[in-house]
Amino acid sequence: MRICVYPGSFDPFTLGHLDVLKKAITLFDKVYVSVLNNSAKNPVFTVEERVRMIEQIVESEGLENVKPSSFGGLLVDYVDRVGAGYIIRGLRAITDFEYEFQIDAMNSRMNPSVNTVYFMAKPEHSFLSSSMIREIASFNADLKGLVPDCTIDFVAERLRKK
């Protein structure tokens, strides 16, 4: 059984993340979508909120063999714990490459048996990032077409400047 982990901050999960997840499903029998539990990153949404949103997205999209989860500590240790051999990461523009290159180099050094597979989001989502969503949502911008429909209201309500 081919198992992979799609890790990230997902603060919040965007349509670009969903593109990558849908591509991963075509190659793997089981995909863990795993939220990093690290308060040092100062996330806006709690781990529980992010996992819950991913659960709602998985359900409303009817995605099978996807398991929303969270993890702390080293990613390669978590990948081992769930019996996965692969990490999934998304690549947008060339600017992502250096960051991903460093993560991959470090992960490979710590556990050479874990490989990373990269997918690109659809071109129309290549500009999307969670940080941009947080920024524009704080000014009440419309999130339609940027985050999955079933999470729009929750994301907008939480990020709107009071």
Chain residues binding ligand PNS by CB under 6 A are: 7-9, 36, 74-75, 103, 106-107
Active site residue 125: no
User: Strands 115-120 and 86-91: what pairing?
Assistant: parallel
Nearer to ligand PNS, 130 or 156 (CB): 130
Is residue 64 within 8 A of residue 31, CB to CB? The reply is no
Q: How far is the CB of 102 from ligand PNS (least distance, A)?
A: 7
CA distance 24 to 28: 6
Nearer to ligand PNS, 107 or 151 (CB): 107
Active site residue 161: no
Nearer to ligand PNS, 79 or 137 (CB): 79
**Structure tokens belonging to residue 20:** 């990558």
CA distance 125 to 128: 5
Active site residue 9: no
What positions carry a catalytic annotation? 17, 41, 92, 130
